[in-house]
C-alpha cells in the first residue's frame, strides 16, 4: 500500500515513473542491462541523456543560448560553485535573504567574495518576501541571487524583479522548478537539486546562459566548472546515470500531464494552484490552525502551519500516520507542520489531508 508522502525532499515521485523503473530494472529496452549498468559513453545511455535534455528544454522552453548541465552536489554545493564560476573580477554579488535557504547561500558565497544582502525578510520573521521597492541593489554586482521558493519557511516568489543594470539573475529553484512556467530568458542561471519535482537526490540541474561560461575562478574544480561541464555535454566526469534516467521519466510524465490547450508546466501550475488553494483555504477557515506567511508570498509547494498547542504536534503526526499521511513534521528550525505538495502529490492526497485537518480540529479544537 502506498502512502501520501508529504516529505520536503527527497519527495514523492509519480507512481507511473516508479512502476516503469521497476519494470525496466533488469533489462532496459531489450539491452539485457539495467540503466545502472550501462557505460555513460555508450549509445544506450546517450539516448537517455539526449532525450532527457531535449524534453527538459521543451518543457521549460529553454532558449538555445542556454546550456543545460547535469551536475552533482545539490544546491548546497552550488552555493559555492555559483560564486566560483560567476564572481569573476567584480568579486561582488547581491543576495536577497528570504529565509534559511538563502541564508545558506549567503554564508557560503561570502567565502568567495563580497556579498551584499540587498534586502532581508528578517525583520518580519521571514513571513514575507521583501518587495522590490525595498531592495538596495549594487549596480556593479556580478549577479543577483534569489531563492524562488523557501522550502523550510514556505515562501515563494510569485513575481520576478525587473531587469535592471544588466546584472544577471541567478536563482536557486530547487523546490519549485517545473512546478510552473518560468521565463528562463529573464535569468542568467537557474539551479536546483533534483529531489523535489525532478527525480532522485544526487542530481543537480544547472541552466546557464552561454555568455556566463568561461569565467571560473582558477581554483574551481574542473568537475564543477560550468565551461568544462558544458564542453563535455555533462560527461566530463561520470554523471549520476540512474538519477538522470529517472528525471527523464519524470520529464516524459510531465508532458503526458498537459491539459488540452495548455503546456505541461501551465497544466502543472493550474493543478498546483488548485491543490495549494484547497489546503490554505482549509487552514484559513478553521480558526484552529495558524499560518505565518503573508498570503501573497505563500508557497504552492510547501504549506507550513501550526497547531494551537505544541503538545498537539505528536498526536497530530501519529493520527496522520495512521491514515497514511506521512512526513508532515515541520523543519526543526521552524516547528509546526509542513505539507510539501509537489507535482507528484495527487489532489486526492491533499483532500485526504484536508479531511484529517477537519477531523483533528473537531476532536481537539
- Residues that bind a copy of itself in the complex, under the rule CB under 8 A: 1-3, 5, 7-13, 15, 18-19, 21-22, 25-27, 31-34, 36-40, 42, 72-77, 79-81, 84, 108, 111-112, 193, 195, 199-203, 217-219, 221-224, 236-243, 246, 324, 326-327
Give Cβ neighbours of residue 288 (< 8 Å, ≥ 6 apart): 307, 308, 361, 364, 365
- The catalytic position among 55, 196, 275, 297 is 196
- The catalytic position among 28, 97, 101, 329 is 101
Side by side, the strands of the sheet bearing 66-71 are 66-71, 204-209, 189-193, 169-172, 144-147, 92-97, 114-120
Query: Is 182:155 a contact under the CB 8 Å cutoff?
Result: no
Closer Cβ to a copy of itself, 3 or 351, answer by number = 3
Q: Is 94 a catalytic residue?
A: no
Residue at grid coordinates 541567478: 170
- The catalytic position among 55, 94, 172, 297 is 172
Specify the pairing of strand 92-97 against strand 114-120.
Answer: parallel
Nearest approach, Cβ of residue 180 and a copy of itself (Å):
22
Nearest approach, Cβ of residue 179 and a copy of itself (Å):
17
Query: Is 59:115 a contact under the CB 8 Å cutoff?
Result: no
Nearest approach, Cβ of residue 141 and a copy of itself (Å):
20
- Cα separation, 275 vs 240, in Å, equals 32
Instruction: Report helix, strand or coil for 294.
Output: coil
Closer Cβ to a copy of itself, 214 or 324, answer by number = 324
Closer Cβ to a copy of itself, 195 or 291, answer by number = 195
Q: Is 172 a catalytic residue?
A: yes
Query: Is 303:338 a contact under the CB 8 Å cutoff?
Result: yes
What secondary structure letter does DSSP report for 306?
B
Nearest approach, Cβ of residue 201 and a copy of itself (Å):
4
Closer Cβ to a copy of itself, 8 or 336, answer by number = 8
Distance, first Cα to last Cα, the chain: 31
Q: What is the DSSP string of 150-205?
A: ETTTTEE-SS-PPP-TTPPEEEE-TTTTTSS---GGG-SEEEEESTTTTS-TT-EE
Instruction: Report helix, strand or coil for 72.
Output: coil
Residues in the chain: 365
Q: Is 101 a catalytic residue?
A: yes
Instruction: Report helix, strand or coil for 96.
Output: strand
Instruction: Report helix, strand or coil for 29.
Output: coil
CA proximity to 328, closest of 356, 320, 292, 290: 320
Closer Cβ to a copy of itself, 73 or 181, answer by number = 73
Residue at grid coordinates 546584472: 167
Closer Cβ to a copy of itself, 107 or 296, answer by number = 107
Closer Cβ to a copy of itself, 331 or 364, answer by number = 331
> Cis before residue 10, ω within 30 degrees of 0?
yes
Nearest approach, Cβ of residue 73 and a copy of itself (Å):
5
Instruction: Report helix, strand or coil for 146.
Output: strand
Nearest approach, Cβ of residue 285 and a copy of itself (Å):
29
- Which residues carry out catalysis? 101, 172, 196
Amino acid at each position: 500500500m502506498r502512502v501520501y508522502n508529504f516529505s520536503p525532499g527527497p519527495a514523492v515521485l509519480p507512481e507511473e515513473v516508479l512502476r516503469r523503473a521497476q519494470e525496466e530494472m533488469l533489462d532496459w529496452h531489450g539491452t539485457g542491462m539495467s540503466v545502472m549498468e550501462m557505460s555513460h559513453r555508450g549509445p544506450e545511455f546517450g539516448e537517455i541523456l539526449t532525450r532527457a535534455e531535449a524534453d527538459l528544454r521543451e518543457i521549460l522552453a529553454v532558449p538555445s543560448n542556454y546550456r543545460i548541465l547535469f551536475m552533482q552536489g545539490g544546491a548546497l554545493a552550488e552555493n559555492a560553485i555559483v560564486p566560483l564560476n560567476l564572481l569573476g573580477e567584480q568579486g561582488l554579488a547581491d543576495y536577497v535573504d528570504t529565509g534559511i535557504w538563502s541564508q545558506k547561500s549567503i554564508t557560503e558565497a561570502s567565502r568567495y567574495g563580497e556579498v551584499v544582502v540587498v534586502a532581508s525578510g528578517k525583520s518580519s520573521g521571514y513571513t514575507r518576501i521583501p518587495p522590490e521597492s525595498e531592495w538596495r541593489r549594487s549596480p556593479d554586482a556580478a549577479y543577483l541571487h534569489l531563492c524562488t521558493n523557501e522550502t523550510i519557511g514556505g515562501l515563494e516568489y510569485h513575481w520576478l524583479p525587473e531587469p535592471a543594470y544588466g546584472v544577471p539573475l541567478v536563482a536557486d529553484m530547487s523546490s519549485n522548478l517545473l512546478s510552473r512556467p518560468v521565463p528562463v530568458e529573464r535569468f542568467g542561471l537557474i539551479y536546483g537539486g533534483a529531489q523535489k519535482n525532478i527525480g532522485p537526490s544526487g542530481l543537480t540541474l544547472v541552466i546557464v546562459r552561454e555568455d556566463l561560461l568561461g569565467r571560473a575562478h582558477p581554483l574551481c574544480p574542473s568537475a564543477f566548472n560550468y565551461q568544462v561541464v558544458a564542453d563535455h555535454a555533462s560527461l566530463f566526469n561520470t554523471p549520476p546515470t540512474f538519477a538522470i534516467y529517472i528525471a527523464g521519466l519524470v520529464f516524459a510524465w510531465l508532458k503526458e500531464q498537459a491539459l488540452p490547450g495548455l503546456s505541461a508546466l501551465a497544466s502543472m501550475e493550474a493543478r498546483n494552484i488548485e491543490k495549494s488553494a484547497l489546503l490554505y483555504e482549509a487552514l484559513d477557515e478553521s480558526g484552529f490552525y495558524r499560518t505565518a506567511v503573508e498570503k501573497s508570498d505563500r508557497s504552492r509547494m510547501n504549506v507550513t502551519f501550526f497547531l494551537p498547542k505544541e503538545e498537539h504536534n505528536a498526536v497530530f503526526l501519529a493520527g496522520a500516520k495512521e491514515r497514511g499521511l506521512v512526513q508532515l513534521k515541520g523543519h526543526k528550525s521552524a516547528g509546526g507542520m509542513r505539507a510539501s505538495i509537489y507535482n507528484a502529490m495527487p489532489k486526492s492526497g491533499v483532500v485526504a489531508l484536508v479531511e484529517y485537518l477537519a477531523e483533528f480540529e473537531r476532536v481537539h479544537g
